[in-house]
A and B are shown apart, each in its own frame.
Chain A
């Protein structure tokens, strides 16, 4: 990495600048055993609600779906 060629440093936040915990607590909320690694992987890549919320699309129109939906991708 040459110092003169890069003028912009782009950071991720969680795990890079910001310490993020909570997976252990989330594990305890689960009704079934799931490793921390598996929880985190699924949280980051496979949760429809996480991706919907974090892309700013989680609006009130999803409320009826949220109340009964169980693992079905949106």
Chain B
């Protein structure tokens, strides 16, 4: 019954032009998916630290996120506002979590897309970071979603990978692509097989421009992670290698490989796995 009460209240409060039932039908599906790479990131993190969530959510969305979207089992603790009775940014919400975990605030890193919540967590003594929110999504941020979260958590993740899907516009459907974080380098393997793969068509595709695009994104990452010294972007289409030292200001250096003739297949996505050890040698 409480869901109907809520829906009726929302329809009246907001002056919606639909019935409470119609609103509820739509509302159930607001959470659409786990961001790409979340499952892998959480699996990696779970080996190194305790994972929990503190979410302002409800009895409609939570079962959907847990069961249908598959968050169940990926975290160790779930602190849900409709269960604990506290909403962020109230101090009580964070205190409830700390009390239940039995740890001081200094042991917790908190990630939220709402600055109000980040500020509230910091006021309690938790180290908190803001990840992407709706405003940033609308204004096309340089780094969003899971990639942003991975980067914030990089010191915890150690050497690892960041989904390129969220790293550069035009790569949104490259679900399997990764930017490798190796020591203090970011390496983007930009080995696309077809121009259409990157949202550009035929002759208009300019792989160098794409690399520059990626480099711009990597530059943002490097700015966030101040110990990054170098970024390498490998582009298969014109065999372009963009090797960009990040220290002493931003400088882009590129050297083109032969576009035809002897085929250099080292950078094909098919050989990512075999190539990675050599790549590590290249950037170390």
Once the chains are docked, how many angstroms separate the CA of A62 from the CA of B131? 35
Q: Which residues of A sit under 8 angstroms from B155, Cβ to Cβ?
A: 1-3
Q: Please determine whether B35 and A12 come into contact, CB atoms closer than 8 angstroms.
A: no
Q: Please determine whether A29 and B18 come into contact, CB atoms closer than 8 angstroms.
A: yes
Bin chain B's interface residue count.
35 or more
Of B43-51, B175-183, B231-239, the one contacting chain A is: B43-51
Once the chains are docked, how many angstroms separate the CA of A23 from the CA of B103? 37
Once the chains are docked, how many angstroms separate the CA of A30 from the CA of B65? 26
Closest approach, in angstroms, between the C-beta of A17 and any C-beta of chain B?
Answer: 5
Picked from A21, A30, A62, the residue with its CB within 8 Å of the CB of B14 is: A30
Closest approach, in angstroms, between the C-beta of A3 and any C-beta of chain B?
Answer: 5
Number of A-B contacts (CB under 8 A): 224
Q: Please determine whether B71 and A6 come into contact, CB atoms closer than 8 angstroms.
A: no
For A, the interface residue count at a CB cutoff of 8 angstroms equals: 56
Q: Please determine whether B138 and A36 come into contact, CB atoms closer than 8 angstroms.
A: yes
Q: Please determine whether A6 and B49 come into contact, CB atoms closer than 8 angstroms.
A: yes
Once the chains are docked, how many angstroms separate the CA of A4 from the CA of B82? 33
Q: Which residues of B sit under 8 angstroms from A40, Cβ to Cβ?
A: 134
Q: Please determine whether B14 and A16 come into contact, CB atoms closer than 8 angstroms.
A: no
Of B113-121, B203-211, B214-222, B258-266, the one contacting chain A is: B113-121
Once the chains are docked, how many angstroms separate the CA of A8 from the CA of B202? 48
B126-163 Cβ-contact flags toward A at 8 Å (1 or 0): 11000111110010000001000100110110100000
Q: Please determine whether B34 and A10 come into contact, CB atoms closer than 8 angstroms.
A: no
Cβ of A22 < 8 Å from any Cβ of B?
yes
Closest approach, in angstroms, between the C-beta of B214 and any C-beta of chain A?
Answer: 23
A10 to B, closest residue via Cβ:
B110
Closest approach, in angstroms, between the C-beta of B37 and any C-beta of chain A?
Answer: 10
Closest approach, in angstroms, between the C-beta of A60 and any C-beta of chain B?
Answer: 5
Cβ of B200 < 8 Å from any Cβ of A?
no
Most buried by B among A48, A54, A68: A54
Once the chains are docked, how many angstroms separate the CA of A71 from the CA of B10? 9
Closest approach, in angstroms, between the C-beta of B99 and any C-beta of chain A?
Answer: 13
A13-28 Cβ-contact flags toward B at 8 Å (1 or 0): 1111111111101100
Given contacts A54-B56, A58-B2, A68-B12, contact A15 B33 (CB under 8 A): no
A6 to B, closest residue via Cβ:
B109
Closest approach, in angstroms, between the C-beta of B121 and any C-beta of chain A?
Answer: 8
Q: Please determine whether A59 and B5 come into contact, CB atoms closer than 8 angstroms.
A: yes
B33 to A, closest residue via Cβ:
A19
Closest approach, in angstroms, between the C-beta of A40 and any C-beta of chain B?
Answer: 5
The 6 closest A-B pairs by CB, nearest first: A22-B30, A15-B113, A66-B9, A49-B9, A12-B112, A13-B55
Q: Name 25 A/B residue pairs within 8 A (Cβ), A-sorted.
A: A1-B152, A8-B107, A9-B52, A9-B110, A9-B153, A9-B156, A10-B97, A12-B55, A16-B111, A18-B35, A18-B65, A18-B69, A19-B35, A20-B32, A22-B29, A29-B16, A29-B22, A30-B14, A48-B13, A54-B82, A56-B81, A67-B12, A69-B9, A70-B13, A70-B15
